[in-house]
Structure 1
Amino acid sequence: MRTEHLLLALLEDPTLPGPATLRRLGITEQAARREVTLLDSPGGPLAQEDAAAPASLGIDVEEVRRRAEQSLGAGALEEPVPRRGRLGLLRRGRRPGAGHLPFTRPAKQALELSLREAVRRGDRSIGTEHLLLGLLDEADRRTAALLGRFGTDPATLRAEILEDLAAKAD
């Protein structure tokens, strides 16, 4: 599970603290889901960034992909195929696409930062606002790219959330 998945989960209830700020800024669950699918799509912002690094070294990523698919078959560089054990069963009893999705390192860090946000604010429990602030404090490139698609950035959104929380407390 990536940080953008945590953000999408927060957007499921836009009336909660934090997600309400997102909604006020025009970031809805439906719009965010659309943008998340575009992040890694060919020609999307992260795909362009990922292709730019090898291109700076003179490597044509599309040519590498074309040759790999020519030699190894279509989709050779896509998600790995689940491995099967001796009895033809998927390892660890999982079906592809089912069960628990492990958290990525940035997502785990965002969860840890949400605890720190709650402690910093003197709150006794972790709420949606803390999780969202933890995601923004992490500011990994995926979350930053997603927010950029909506014309904002982690620092600006953080300030907006803190302002909304202060107004609500008054």
Structure 2
Amino acid sequence: MFERFTDGARSAVNDAQKQARALNDHHIGPEHLLLALLDGDDATAHALRGAGLDLADLRARAVRHRHAAGDFLDPEALRVIGIDLDAVREATEGTFGAGALDVPAERLRRGPKGRPGRRANGHIPFDPRAKKSLEMSLRHALRLKQRHIATGHVLLGVLHDEHSAAARLAAEAGADLRALRATITRLLTAEAA
């Protein structure tokens, strides 16, 4: 499938790994693809910025979502026993630095059953949601009767499921997903004409 990707789309997929690494994530999800697309300098990136998305804001939202989702600590369980996780996180990061409550890097390097896994600077795998987004990018290209997959197709794949973390992040940041999809579809069909 990657042979159909344009250079820009390949670059965005590769840059998703950099986005995941910058957030200390141990997988690449659709939100990392969205960040990589927004960090680009093509028509798709300009459309994302035109929809009101900002890279720093979206990164901060992604971090907050990860913590709120309870990836590492369960805020609701702690709240029940009278602990405000946000206050604890703020105090801890104030004393020990940003990300002090995140999973230590040594744990991320462990594979199944505690065996050594990837190195800190090694390959970060795509999670099933990101793989599905990339599959949907192909489907959008086919739907538009196009033989290549450009960054716009990748964005359509990332935003295909309105309940995905990436779509929720974009919507919460103020993007009108329906209008954004329409804009990207117009850009893709104009390029093909």
TM-score tier (shorter): 0.5 to 0.7
SS in 2 for 1:137: coil
Q: Distance in 1 between matches of 2:180 and 2:169?
A: 12
What does residue 111 of structure 1 align with? 134
The reply to whether residue 145 of structure 1 matches residue 168 of structure 2 is yes
Q: Quickly say closer, same or farther: Cα 1:47–1:148, change in 2 above 3 A.
A: farther
What does residue 41 of structure 2 align with? 14
Flag as ranges the 4+ runs of structure 1 deviating above 6 A: 63-66, 74-77
1:40: Cα distance to partner? 2.9
Q: Distance in 2 between matches of 1:22 and 1:64?
A: 32
How many corresponding residue pairs? 148
CA contact (8 A) 1:40 1:46 kept: yes
Deviations 1:44-79 (A, max 9, x none): x56456599946xx845847998xxxxxxx999742
Could you tell me which runs of 5 or more consecutive residues in structure 1 were left unpaired when the two chains were aligned: 67-73
Give the AA of the match of 2:119: R
What does residue 69 of structure 1 align with? none
The reply to whether residue 154 of structure 1 matches residue 177 of structure 2 is yes
1:148: Cα distance to partner? 2.3
Q: TM-score, normalization: structure 1?
A: 0.65
Could you tell me which runs of 5 or more consecutive residues in structure 2 were left unpaired when the two chains were aligned: 1-27, 89-95
Q: Quickly say closer, same or farther: Cα 1:53–1:120, change in 2 above 3 A.
A: farther
Q: Quickly say closer, same or farther: Cα 1:121–1:81, change in 2 above 3 A.
A: same
1:147: Cα distance to partner? 0.8
The reply to whether residue 95 of structure 1 matches residue 116 of structure 2 is no
Q: TM-score, normalization: structure 2?
A: 0.58
What does residue 126 of structure 1 align with? 149
Q: Distance in 1 between matches of 2:132 and 2:149?
A: 15
What does residue 23 of structure 1 align with? 49
Q: Quickly say closer, same or farther: Cα 1:13–1:38, change in 2 above 3 A.
A: closer
The reply to whether residue 35 of structure 1 matches residue 84 of structure 2 is no
Q: Quickly say closer, same or farther: Cα 1:2–1:165, change in 2 above 3 A.
A: same
Q: Quickly say closer, same or farther: Cα 1:77–1:127, change in 2 above 3 A.
A: same
Q: Distance in 2 between matches of 1:121 and 1:80?
A: 44
Q: Which has the larger radius of gyration?
A: 1
What does residue 3 of structure 1 align with? 30
Percent of aligned pairs with the same amino acid:
35
What does residue 23 of structure 2 align with? none
2:186 alignment partner, one of 153, 158, 163: 163
CA contact (8 A) 2:133 2:154 kept: yes
What does residue 93 of structure 2 align with? none
